[in-house]
Structure 1
Amino acid sequence: MFKEVAVENFTKIPLAVAKGANRIELNDNLAVGGTTVSHGVLQEATKYLQEKSIPVVEMIRPRGGNFVYNDLEIKMMESDLFEAQKLGVDAVTFGALTSDGAIDEDAMEQLIAASSGMQVVFHMAFDALAEENKKDAIDWLVDHDVDRILTHGGPLTTDINDTLGNIKKYIDYADGRITILPGGGVNFKNCDAIAEKLGVKEVHGTKVIDGINN
C-alpha cells in the first residue's frame, strides 16, 4: 500500500517519514483544504525529503475557497510552479475551474506548461466539477498527461463510505489511463478496506498513518 500523507508545513514530516509515509503532500492552511507553503518551508522540506528519497507533492493554491481563479491568481500559481521546478519538487497539485463547473482549460494549460519536468496532480477541485462534466474532465486530463486525480467522490461533508461508488465509477472509466487517488476521510483504520474495495494501491490523507495528525 502506497500512503501519501498530507501535512501542514515542515513540522510533521520527519515523523511521517519515520512511520512509513511513501509520499508527502506539502500544504499550508489545511483547515481550508491546503494552500501553497512559503518558499523557505518548501526549500527545507524538499531538501529533507530528497535526502530520504521520499517524493514531495506541493500544493499550488493561492487561497482557500473556490477554484475559479482570475488572471493574477493564475500568474501567482505559475510563479510558484517555477520555484518548485528550480528546487526539484517531484510533483505539484492544482486545479482550476470555470464558474459553471467545468475545467478552466486555458488556465490549466498554462499551469501544466509551467510544471514541465514534474508530475501533475489534479486535486479535489475535481469534486467541485458538475457531475455531468467529470468523464470529459478525466479524458481532458489524460490527454494533457496529468498523472493523478485526487478525489473524495463527492462533497467532503459526505462520508467516504458513501462516495466509494462514485470513486469506483471514475476508476472504471479512467481504465488505467490515469491514477485515481482516493482521499478525504481515508485514515489508518479504513485505508486497507477502502483500497481493497476500490482495487487501488495508493491512498491519500492527513491520517493515513497512525500517529500523524491524529
Structure 2
Amino acid sequence: MAGEKGVVLREFCAENLERVPSALDAGAGRIELCDNLAVGGTTPSLGVIEAAVDLCHARGARVMCMIRPRGGGFEYSPAEAEIMARDLSCAAEAGVDGVVFGCLRDGGLDSPLMGRLVEQAHAAGLEVTMHMAFDELDAIAQRVAIEELAALGVERVLTHGGLAGVPIEKTLPHLKEIVSWADGRLIVLPGGGVTHKNAELVAGELGVSEVHGTRVVPLA
C-alpha cells in the first residue's frame, strides 16, 4: 500500500495505456487507470485494464481501476449501481489490485451502495480508494464520511482538500485536518496539483507516504 519507509509512492493517473510505460520508467509505483479524464474519469475498457495489468505487474507496479459509469455527479441510480458492480467484477477478473469509486447521496456518502461495493471488492481481495467525490462534501460531511469509510475498511481516500483548480499549496491546511481525522485508520492520498516538483514537499507537510496525479513523475 504505502511505499518503503521514507519513500513517497507516486500513483500516476493514466487515461489509457499510452503513457503508462513512461510513467513506470520515471518511477511510478502504482497506476490509477481510468478513461475520460475530461469529466474526472470513468471506467476504462476491459482491454485497456488487461493490458495495463500485464504491463504493470511485469514491472512490479500495482493497478487501481476507476469504477464510474459516467461523468457528472456521484449520485447513482439502481441501474447504474448494477453497472458498477458488474464493472468491478470484470476488473477483479482482469487482475487489478484495487478499485476506485465514490457514491454520494443527499450531501453525504451513499452508505448502502458504498458498503455493497466495498464488500464486493474486499471479497475479491481488492483494495478500495474513495475518489475525489469526497471533495464534493462539506467539511462536516467529510468528517462523518471519514468515520464511515474507516468503519467499512476502505484503504484510502483521494482528495485535493478543496475546490478543483485551487493550488494544492492553499489546500494543505484542510488536508492536514483530513489526515488528523483519519488518524492512521486509512491513507489520505493527496491529488490534484501534485507534481514531481512538489510531491516530496506535499508528502512531507502532510506526513503521508503516497501522492497522486497525472504529473507526479517527470514525463518527456
**Offset of residue 113 of structure 1:** 2.2
* 1:51-62 mapped onto 2 (5 Å cutoff): 51-62=58-69
Q: Secondary structure at the match of 1:92?
A: strand
CA distance in 2, matches of 1:124, 1:203: 13
Which residue of structure 2 aligns with residue 64 of structure 1? Answer: 71
**Offset of residue 6 of structure 1:** 0.2
Q: Does residue 83 of structure 2 align to residue 76 of structure 1?
A: yes
Which residue of structure 1 aligns with residue 211 of structure 2? Answer: 203
Which residue of structure 1 aligns with residue 146 of structure 2? Answer: 138
Instruction: Give the fraction of aligned pairs with identical amino acids, expressed as a percent.
Output: 45
User: What are the Cα deviations for residues 146-189 of structure 1, in whole angstroms up to 9, with x where unaligned?
Assistant: 00000000111222111111110010111111100000010111
- Structure 1 letter corresponding to 2:109: I
CA distance in 2, matches of 1:72, 1:51: 36
TM-score, structure 1 length as denominator? Answer: 0.96
CA distance in 1, matches of 2:53, 2:190: 24
Contact 2:31 2:63 in 1 (8 A): yes
**What's the C-alpha RMSD, in Å, of the aligned pairs?**
1.0
Which residue of structure 2 aligns with residue 184 of structure 1? Answer: 192
Q: Does residue 116 of structure 2 align to residue 110 of structure 1?
A: yes
Contact 2:46 2:94 in 1 (8 A): no
Gaps of 5+ in 2: 1-7
Which residue of structure 1 aligns with residue 5 of structure 2? Answer: none
- Structure 2 letter corresponding to 1:122: M
Q: Secondary structure at the match of 1:204?
A: strand
Structure 1 residues 130-139 or 69-78, which shifts more? 130-139
**Offset of residue 73 of structure 1:** 0.7
Gaps of 5+ in 1: none
Q: Which runs of 4+ in 1 moved over 4 A?
A: none
- Structure 2 letter corresponding to 1:91: G
- Structure 1 letter corresponding to 2:26: K
* 1:1-214 mapped onto 2 (5 Å cutoff): 1-98=8-105, 100-115=106-121, 116=123, 117-211=125-219
Contact 2:9 2:29 in 1 (8 A): yes
**Offset of residue 120 of structure 1:** 0.4
**Offset of residue 130 of structure 1:** 2.5
CA distance in 2, matches of 1:52, 1:208: 18
Q: How many residues align?
A: 211
CA distance in 2, matches of 1:81, 1:66: 19
**Offset of residue 87 of structure 1:** 1.7
